[in-house]
Chains A and B, each alone.
Chain A
Amino acid sequence: MNAAALTRSRIFPLALGLGALAAAILAVEALIRIGVINRFIVPLPSQIALAFERVIVEEDIAGRFRLTLFEAFTAGAMITVVGVSVGLLLFRINILRQATETWVAALASAPTVLMYPLFLVIFGRSAWTIIMMGFVAGVPPVILKTIEGLTGTRRVLINVGKSFNLTGPQLFAKILFPAALPTIFVGIRLGLIFTLINVVGVEFLINFGGLGQLINDLAERYDLPGTYAAISFVILVSVCFFVLTEWIERWLRPVD
């Protein structure tokens, strides 16, 4: 099988990814065992593997996983709906775009996580504080990438639509939106990254909710294998999201 065939294969990239991950884990295990990495700072991957059962059985990981997933999913849905809508609005109303795009870009790089005390006052000590923190952190990239995707549509495609006498909504649905979709999804993925970081970070900071709170608790107990096992579940939430986004993108754009 040549390189091109390997790349086209569905199994090979997956196997290569898993193999690379396994090799990295084995390398870390070896480095810790020979003393290059301090085992009291980074636990052995084999200890982390053993800690999974304990964390699942004793720490209500299913409930915490569901809560973090719910918070991240709600914030993710909100950044998608609000971000794409606002991006579209700014694309359509040029003066509004000129007036606000810089502010949106500034918000994207602002450390909004520091505003958590304000959010605690507004939304109380509830999942909504965490969801809103995730939303505020994740929505700017979606807005910016939506504008970028829509403005980047090739002129020739729009002209073809106009030559077919498409109405405004038809032009948007048939040409602008499909053309902008890959860039919009880049924005959504970026937004989801910021959202998830903030959701787990705020759970950790305010000691409320799902996996972030558990990571805090386990770290305070100096249960390092447990802490890393809990972090693995955060990665799992992230994986769930990215798989879901890929499915949705493929569903919206069945043909590339």
Chain B
Amino acid sequence: MKTRFGLALALAAAITALASPPGANADDLLKLTIGQRGNWDTAITQLGAKAGIFKRNGIELDMVYTSGSGETLQPIIGGAVDLGLAVGTLGAIAAYAKGAPVRIIGAQATGAADYWYAKTSSPIKKLTDLTDKNTIAFSTNGSSTNSVVRAFIDEFKLKVRPMATGNPSSTLTAVMTGQVDVGWASPPFGLKEIEEGKTRIVARATDSALVRGQTIRVIVANADALARRKDAIARFMKAYRESIAYMYGDNPQVLKDYGEFAGVSEAVARRVRDDFFPKSLVDPDEIHGLDALMAEAVTLKFIAAPLTKEQVAELVQIVK
């Protein structure tokens, strides 16, 4: 009787295993919020997923794009998503300092591909042409573009007036209608206007020595998710690195996929990668310029005082 019962159990288990849907043995699902859709550096997960790199590492991604750093960070703090990409480093520091359960697990952008431009008809050709009668745009107070403009003013001893103009689209409107002299954009946005001869590049973010050496955006994890799903997050980071290698390799498919994703031609996609995003910019393995960022965070009222060494060690946990 016992043997028969045991056999029946084994048979039931075998049938259950065979009849299980593929999802029962599915990859680990990670939920992501990602800022700045369409940029080359924020397309890493998109392109890696399309190439099957994340799947190969046993990771399935649920990606939601947001319109800003705060919007990216909030669901991570609330625990609704596991990871956030392209979170402003200052925002991540501020959230951690206020007790929010966030951890930096990698760099997302060191230096910046953002560029500043003027109308072709404008006499402004380079940063040093700017006087106290001119205005230069940044997105919002406390943003990475605000930091870059402050760095331009400090390093080039400019008297120009900074002006918050919002996103690249509204900034282009402001530039073309003469409301601001120098606008900002993040490629591929605005490259079409440059190619059509309507605007010209006046400066790049990397013209500032300070910006070149700073990790301005990071990859952030919910602290609880990081503790509970360390293995899945480690595999995510492995796939992330492999995706970067794929994006900078010689497979032309990546440019085709990026072009489709960002709505630009393959030629523009190639220009975006080769002219604006050196591979070092997307290296996730090290956070650069943390001291300067900390000082910036205090100046811009993100935090009241710099984090201690112990706090930094808890906040920054690069997953390798």
Interface, chain A (partner B; CB < 8 A): 38, 40-41, 58, 116-117, 120-121, 124-125, 205-208, 213, 216-217, 219-224
Q: Once the chains are docked, how many angstroms separate the CA of A206 from the CA of B139?
A: 9
Q: Which 4 A-B pairs have CB atoms at the shortest separation, nearest pair first?
A: A222-B94, A222-B95, A207-B164, A40-B77
Q: Does B133 sit at the interface, judged by CB under 8 A?
A: no
Central interface residue in A40, A120, A124, A205, by most chain B CB within 10 Å? A40
7 A-B pairs, CB-CB below 8 angstroms? A41-B74, A120-B174, A125-B165, A125-B180, A208-B164, A220-B68, A224-B98
Binds A, one of B7-15, B18-26, B40-48, B140-148: B140-148
Central interface residue in B88, B143, B163, B173, by most chain A CB within 10 Å? B173
From the candidates A41, A213, A221, name the one contacting B77 in the complex (CB within 8 A).
Answer: A41
Q: Which residues of A contact B140 (CB under 8 A)?
A: 207, 216-217, 220
> Nearest Cβ distance between residue B114 and chain A, in whole angstroms?
17
Name 14 extra pairs, CB < 8 A, besides A38-B77, A207-B140: A40-B78, A40-B95, A40-B100, A41-B78, A208-B164, A217-B141, A219-B70, A220-B69, A220-B70, A220-B88, A220-B91, A220-B142, A221-B302, A222-B70
Q: Does B56 sit at the interface, judged by CB under 8 A?
A: no
B98 adjacent to A222 (CB under 8 Å): yes
Q: In the complex, what residue of chain B is closest to A122 when comparing beta carbons?
A: B177
Central interface residue in B68, B69, B164, B169, by most chain A CB within 10 Å? B164
Q: Does B6 sit at the interface, judged by CB under 8 A?
A: no
Central interface residue in B90, B139, B140, by most chain A CB within 10 Å? B140
Q: Once the chains are docked, how many angstroms separate the CA of A116 from the CA of B166?
A: 12
Q: Does B300 sit at the interface, judged by CB under 8 A?
A: yes
A120 adjacent to B91 (CB under 8 Å): no
Q: B residues 88-126 with Cβ under 8 Å of A?
A: 88, 90-91, 94-95, 98-101
B301 adjacent to A222 (CB under 8 Å): no
Contact (A221, B91) CB under 8 Å given A58-B301, A125-B180: yes
Q: Does B205 sit at the interface, judged by CB under 8 A?
A: no
Contact (A121, B142) CB under 8 Å given A41-B77, A207-B166, A223-B94: no
Q: Does B179 sit at the interface, judged by CB under 8 A?
A: yes
1/0 per residue, CB under 8 A from A, across B59-93: the answer is 00000000011100110011100000000101100
Interface of A is mostly: helix
B170 adjacent to A206 (CB under 8 Å): yes
> Nearest Cβ distance between residue A14 and chain B, in whole angstroms?
36
Q: Once the chains are docked, how many angstroms separate the CA of A11 from the CA of B112?
A: 60
> Nearest Cβ distance between residue A36 and chain B, in whole angstroms?
14
Q: In the complex, what residue of chain B is closest to A226 when comparing beta carbons?
A: B301
Interface, chain B (partner A; CB < 8 A): 68-70, 73-74, 77-79, 88, 90-91, 94-95, 98-101, 139-143, 163-166, 169-170, 173-174, 177, 179-180, 300-302
Q: Once the chains are docked, how many angstroms separate the CA of A124 from the CA of B169?
A: 15
A121 adjacent to B173 (CB under 8 Å): yes
Q: Once the chains are docked, how many angstroms separate the CA of A219 from the CA of B170?
A: 21
Q: Which residues of B contact A41 (CB under 8 A)?
A: 74, 77-78
Q: In the complex, what residue of chain A is closest to B178 when comparing beta carbons?
A: A124
Q: Which residues of B contact A216 (CB under 8 A)?
A: 140
Q: Once the chains are docked, how many angstroms separate the CA of A194 from the CA of B317?
A: 46
Q: Which residues of B contact A117 (CB under 8 A)?
A: 169-170, 173
> Nearest Cβ distance between residue A52 and chain B, in whole angstroms?
16
Q: In the complex, what residue of chain A is closest to B143 when comparing beta carbons?
A: A220
Q: Once the chains are docked, how many angstroms separate the CA of A206 from the CA of B140?
A: 9
> Nearest Cβ distance between residue B148 and chain A, in whole angstroms?
16
Contact (A217, B142) CB under 8 Å given A206-B166, A222-B100: yes
A125 adjacent to B142 (CB under 8 Å): no
> Nearest Cβ distance between residue B184 and chain A, in whole angstroms?
13
> Nearest Cβ distance between residue B145 and chain A, in whole angstroms?
11
A120 adjacent to B173 (CB under 8 Å): yes
> Nearest Cβ distance between residue B291 and chain A, in whole angstroms?
20
Contact (A205, B166) CB under 8 Å given A40-B99, A220-B141: yes
Central interface residue in B68, B98, B163, by most chain A CB within 10 Å? B98
A207 adjacent to B141 (CB under 8 Å): yes
Q: Once the chains are docked, how many angstroms separate the CA of A125 from the CA of B80?
A: 37
Q: In the complex, what residue of chain A is closest to B142 when comparing beta carbons?
A: A220
Q: Once the chains are docked, how many angstroms separate the CA of A222 from the CA of B96?
A: 9
Q: Which residues of B contact A222 (CB under 8 A)?
A: 70, 73, 91, 94-95, 98, 100, 302
B174 adjacent to A221 (CB under 8 Å): no
A121 adjacent to B94 (CB under 8 Å): no
Q: Once the chains are docked, how many angstroms separate the CA of A2 from the CA of B1?
A: 80
Q: In the complex, what residue of chain A is closest to B79 when comparing beta carbons?
A: A38
Q: In the complex, what residue of chain B is closest to A42 when comparing beta carbons?
A: B78
Q: Once the chains are docked, how many angstroms separate the CA of A207 from the CA of B140?
A: 7
Central interface residue in A120, A125, A222, by most chain B CB within 10 Å? A222
Q: Once the chains are docked, how many angstroms separate the CA of A124 from the CA of B101?
A: 41
